Amino acid sequence: MPRRTDLTSILVIGAGPIVIGQACEFDYSGTQACQVLKEEGFRVILVNSNPATIMTDPEFAHATYVEPITPYYVERIIAKEKPDAILPTMGGQTALNTAVALAEKGVLRRHNVELIGAKLEAIRKAENRELFQQTIREIGLDSPRGVFVKSVDQAMEFAENTGFPIIIRPSFTLGGSGGGIAYNIEEFRPKIEHALTVSPIHESLIEESVIGWKEYELEVMRDLKDNVVIICSIENFDPMGVHTGDSITVAPAQTLTDKEYQAMRDASKKIIRAIGVETGGSNIQFAVDPATGRMIVIEMNPRVSRSSALASKATGFPIAKMAAKLAVGYTLDEIPNDITKKTPASFEPTIDYCVVKIPRWDFEKFRGADDILGVQMKSVGEAMGFGRTFKEALQKTLRSLENGRHGLGADGKDPFNPADLDAEQKKELLETITTKLRTSRQDNIFYLRHALQLGMSVAELHEVTGVDPWFLHNIAQIIETENELREYSL
């Protein structure tokens, strides 16, 4: 299918101000999209309230509106510019939410504007938790087990069948208050009793928790001919429970066999089809139980995301650029591969290196902010490194963080040298570090090394942190090399 000829002008929605969780990655994708659409001969109208972006440079669009990205302002732009279509998948959640609001208010219908990239129905299915989980179950995939209970007995029955930890979410309480997580039956009973009391309808959702499971992401692309390709797999160094934006992530996934990876690939294809993302890129997240391999679908972003920027850089496959072309009717086999130029884009990149991304935090600037990492993203940037081994990529990336460190070890910045400590001191220090490592914090990567230096085994460290033993063994190997180097002098 060639480029659509029934469209002449397209409105691209940017991501607005730089905030934690939504930064320059959406300028990266939006700029690519504007360039592509312009090259293809469309009239490009851009709205982005952030003038400090590349996409708002005058040459990237025919008309640029530096206006707030709210339904009110975007509606006025639509009324003035009369675009044929809106591309809402390049500007993060802000753009997507604005487009949904405009569609729901009937603005798009009134002005005869088409949503391209993702249709309203697909966005709703992906973004609404219940609709999403329902869709996942309909296609035979697994999502976290959960049930609404109205009595302690019902809750206890669920706990017996599912095991701990269990997440408790009382119904209709303000901001989810009265909820929490229970790690054992002793904690569970009082918490569920409390939840049922505070809920105005005496009801609570209880769900199995996947905290501590392995976390994976797949970057998927689909075209109007229903071709689906996977661009990249990503494995999180930090287990489930830490926001992906605050996790160290690794591409490609390192601890999956082919059978497990293909199951994830098949699931991704099913999901993008069932949710109904017709064209473009999506990001799908999975949790895997390290003990049994049980795979659960966590969520999906029906748009380009932080991870697709990472996947683009990691593989050389420009996801946003391709997504823009797919949105205007091209199919993957009609677009040349950006690297080879000769072969089509309908392929799956393979790489002969390892990529590591490490978030950069700035808690010094946010005085009073709690540096414990959890489900809300706190990092303000990230660095990325390539290497032929995980160790090489990890060390390069740590250096690139510009926090004064030169990677793990041998940079003269360690707070202590294990050789200077006696057994008692080592024991005390290890206890302190172990306690610290039980919570996810910005500098844990450095303390993983210290724990190993002080004699903790990989198995114990895995138990404490949930980080996969494969990653921990790599850190142990870095320490081995460091110790070897210590034997020499210049």
Partner 1 sequence: MNAKLVLENGLVFRGTSFGAEAEITGEVVFNTSITGYQEILSDPSYCGQIVTMTNPLIGNTGVNDDDRESGRPRVAAFVVREYFDFYSNHRARGSLGDWLREAGIPAIQGIDTRMLTRTIRQTGAMKAILSVGDVDDAELLLRARNSPGMEGLDLTREVTCKEPYAWDDLDATPYALPAVDVDPTQTSQRHHVVVYDFGVKWNILRRLRAHGCRLTVVPAATPASEVLRMNPDGIFLSNGPGDPGAVQYAIRSIGELLGKKPIFGICLGHQLLALALGGKTYKLKFGHRGGNHPVKNLLTNEIEITSQNHGFAVDPDSLDRAQIEITHVNLNDGTNEGFRHLNLPVFSVQYHPEASPGPHDSDYLFREFLRLLREQAAVPAS
Could you list the residues that contact partner 1 (CB under 8 A)? Answer: 225-227, 229-230, 233, 252-263, 265-266, 289-293, 332-333, 343-344, 346-354, 388-390, 458, 468-470, 473
- The residue (of 22 and 233) whose beta carbon lies closer to partner 1 is 233
CB of 383 vs partner 1, minimal distance in Å: 21
In the complex, the smallest distance separating the C-beta of residue 428 from partner 1, rounded to whole angstroms, is 29
Of the pair 152, 263, the CB lying nearest partner 1 is at: 263
Q: Tell me which residue of 394, 234, 229, 254 sits closest to 305, measured CA to CA.
A: 234
Distance of closest approach, residue 134 Cβ to partner 1, in angstroms = 22
Please choose, from the candidates 229, 227, 178, 234, the residue with its C-alpha nearest in 3D space to the C-alpha of residue 206: 178
Q: What is the closest distance, in whole angstroms, from the C-beta atom of residue 32 to partner 1 in the complex?
A: 22
Nearer to partner 1, 5 or 350 (CB): 350
Distances (CA, A) of 367 to 221, 229, 246, 382, 409: 41, 44, 18, 20, 28
Q: Least Å distance between CB 406 and partner 1? A: 22
**β-sheet with 180-182: strand ranges across:** 146-149, 204-208, 166-170, 180-182
Between 145 and 360, CB nearer to partner 1: 145
* CA angle (348 as vertex; 342, 353 as ends), nearest 5: 100
Sign of CA dihedral 329, 332, 334, 335: positive
Integer Cα distance of 433 and 414 in angstroms? 14
Would you say 164 or 347 has its CB closer to partner 1? 347
Alpha helices, DSSP H, located in 57-114: 71-81, 92-104, 107-110
Q: Report the residue number, 348 or 370, with the smaller CB distance to partner 1.
A: 348
- Could you say which DSSP state residue 419 is in? G
Query: How many Å apart are CA 172 and CA 51, to the nearest integer?
Result: 40
* Closest distance to partner 1 from the beta carbon of 442 (Å): 25
Between 123 and 311, name the residue whose CB sits nearer to partner 1. Answer: 311
Buried b (16+ CB within 10 A) or exposed e, 296-312: bbbbbbbbbbbbbbbbb
Is the CB of residue 280 less than 8 Å from the CB of residue 122? no
Min separation Cβ 81 and partner 1, Å? 36
